[in-house]
Each structure stands twice: as structure tokens, then as C-alpha cells.
Amino acid sequence: MDWSGSDRDLIKQIHEKYTEKLIGERSDCRDCRDSAYVYLKNRKNLTLSAPVGIWHVGDLFKDETYKVVFVGKTAIGGKEIEFDKDSCFGKNILLKKGEEWEDNLSNRISPFWGYIRNILNLLYPDLTEDERVKGVAVTNLLKCNIFKKDGSDFKDYSTKDMIETCLNKMHIFEAEINILKPKKIIFMTGDSYDEFIDNFKFWFDNNGKDVERDEKKMLWWVKEFHNNEGNQLKILRTSHPYHVHFKGQKKEEFVNQIVKWIMEKG
């Protein structure tokens, strides 16, 4: 599966927004970084990454029927990042040739990427694997990442200051979405970021309305946004694939439910 076929215009617009927001350089970022270093002082097995931008925007995303953005929490384990010595940004390895990511996309490294692959296989059964990724985008809520130096687990070590700075002060994720203008967003984040997701307005003048919430069978929360211009956005917040993959939930049921939701009209 080759993820390298990206919409360079949208990627460029998003990176220009990063520059405008002075990510990694603004006082909010510096204060957040200082706070993270205090947190790391007595945790020698952890380290802090540079900001990591959006993972992928397929080159057919603008005209795709479903126009879905998949959203994770942070880059995990350091396995998804390499560092650019000439920039404050980490490079997204996933935007390179896809062959080296075959193990990752097969669930052996990260359930997040493996489940996206499974969802796309079911959503676009008549397309090749390389074609399936051309109509989707993938990003994370947070841009900086704390992870174990040996990359030995998938835990989210983000501090409260990191979450607050990235989502409520810098509004980086919302800025990405406002450029992409998707039809649907799937937050594969579990419920730990619900407070922030509930406050997102994106390009609307309200923070949407709940249309479905059922946490008994699996984490499932759907919101809708509308405006007077006829624009509409639907968001789904569900489990992180790590918990489906390792906690005994049924993978097939999870994937089928998400594909069914993506294909719903209206």
C-alpha cells in the first residue's frame, strides 16, 4: 500500500498554516515544551518529539464521495517519526514509499494503521490498495509526542498542558480540518479527548449537535454540524484500535460498523 500519492496543494496550505501559527516557536509552544521537560525530568525512559504535521491527504480527497478524515491521538512509540535537523518539524515517514510500512499496516506495529487499512479494504473492495488511500486523509489531534525511547508500547503519555496548548490555544487540528473541509471525521481516540472534541466548531458557528450516543456495545458518539450555506459535517468518536486489538473486542464488528457509518447518506 503506497501512501505517497498526496494532494500537495492541500498539504502546502496546511503547512503554510503551521508557519502562520508559529508552531514550535510561539510562546504557547515554548511554555508547553518547558512544562513537558519538567514532566520528563524524572522519567528517563521517555522523550519528547518535535511537532509532527498531518500524515496524509490523498490526491483524490477533494472530489471523493465520502471524503473521510481518520484521526488518532498522537504518533506512538517514535516508530512513526524521524527528525529533520533543518526544521522544528518531525518528518512523517508515512509520506515516503509505502513498502517499508507494510508491517505497520498489517497490524504488527500499530493497530491504528492496520484498522484503517481494513476499513478501506471493505469500503473500496473494487480498488487496489494503492487506490484506496487516494480519497482519505489521516492526522492526529496532537502534534508533539511523548513516547518511550525504545518504542515498546502504544500508551498516550501526553500531558494536560500539551493537550490544552495544542487543541485550545493553538487550535492546530481545527485549522487542518478547516482547510480539508471533509464530509466525515472519524476520531479513533477513545473517550479521553471527549471534552475537547465536544467544543470543536470547525468552520461552523456552533459546536454541532449529538445525534447518536451508545457506549454500551462499543464507544460510539456521533455529532452533526450544519450552516445556512448548506454545508454539513458528521463526526464519529469511537474506540482507539489498540483497545479493540488488545482488549478482546471484536475487530470485524468494529470495522463493519465504521464502514456502514461512512456509507450512510445525509
pLDDT score, position 245: 63
CA distance 144 to 135: 26
C-alpha cell belonging to residue 205: 458557528
Provide the phi-psi class of 44: left if phi over 0, else alpha when psi is between -120 and 50, else beta. Answer: alpha
- What is residue 247's predicted lDDT score, i.e. its pLDDT? 60
Residues in the chain: 266
pLDDT of residue 130: 86
- pLDDT at residue 35, rounded to an integer: 96
208 burial level (CB within 10 Å; 0-12, 13-18, 19+): buried
Domain range annotation of the chain: 8-263
Mean pLDDT of successive 10-residue stretches along the chain, which has 266 residues: 71 89 89 95 89 87 96 74 50 41 46 87 93 92 87 84 96 96 96 96 93 82 91 93 71 92 88
Confidence (pLDDT) at 23: 86
| Residue entry with cell 500537495 | 8
DSSP structure string for 95-152: GS-GGGGHHHHTTSS-HHHHHHHHHHHHH-TTS-HHHHGGG-EEEES-SS-EEETT--
Q: How far apart are CA 237 and CA 213, in angstroms?
A: 9
Q: What's the CATH fold of domain 8-263? A: Uracil-DNA Glycosylase, subunit E (3.40.470)
Alpha carbons 203 and 206: distance in angstroms, whole number: 9
Q: Where are the beta strands (DSSP E) in the chain?
A: 46-48, 56-57, 68-72, 81-83, 90-92, 137-140, 146-148, 184-188, 209-213, 220-226, 232-238
Q: What is the pLDDT of residue 266?
A: 61
CA 45 to chain centre: 25
